[in-house]
């Protein structure tokens, strides 16, 4: 019987959370691409990158979502590039969630911070290769 590596449960949990986060971003990107015409007709404000255009944000979310899904799947086999990108994605997510703490959406921010912390712990404690020397 093959022996499991240490922290396999943490790696699986981190991979699942990354796949779910990437899938959420992918769906948000698809929604933004689809909803562009509705927003264009109902608003007079200016959006970042382009005037009254959600296409730019839709494509950004779509591309990043696909990348995070691929990273999440690669984390299952402990690919070092995926672990590093997963750590980076979780750190950025945790940092961005802090901006939502003093809004009415603070419970969602706390959940995001907690889930990003789980990914950070799982990948940093068990995802990095054991034969890599510490700096």
Tell me how far apart the alpha carbons of residues 66 and 25 are, in angstroms, rounded to a whole number. Answer: 8
Q: What is the pLDDT of residues 50-94, one digit of tens each?
A: 555 678 888 988 999 999 999 999 999 999 999 999 999 999 999
Return the top range by mean pLDDT from 4-18, 35-49, 52-66, 72-86.
72-86
């Amino acid at each position: 019987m093959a022996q499991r590596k240490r922290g396999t449960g943490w790696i699986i949990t981190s991979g699942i959370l990354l796949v779910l986060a990437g899938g959420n971003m992918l769906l948000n990107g698809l929604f933004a691409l689809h909803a562009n015409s509705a927003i264009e007709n109902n608003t007079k404000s200016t959006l970042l990158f382009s005037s009254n255009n959600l296409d730019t944000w839709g494509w950004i979310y779509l591309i990043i979502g696909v990348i995070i899904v691929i990273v999440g799947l690669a984390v299952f086999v402990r690919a070092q590039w995926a672990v590093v990108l997963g750590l980076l994605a979780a750190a950025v997510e945790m940092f961005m969630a802090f901006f939502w703490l003093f809004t009415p959406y603070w419970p969602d921010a706390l959940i995001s911070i907690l889930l990003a912390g789980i990914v950070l712990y799982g990948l940093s404690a068990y995802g990095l290769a054991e034969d890599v020397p510490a700096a």
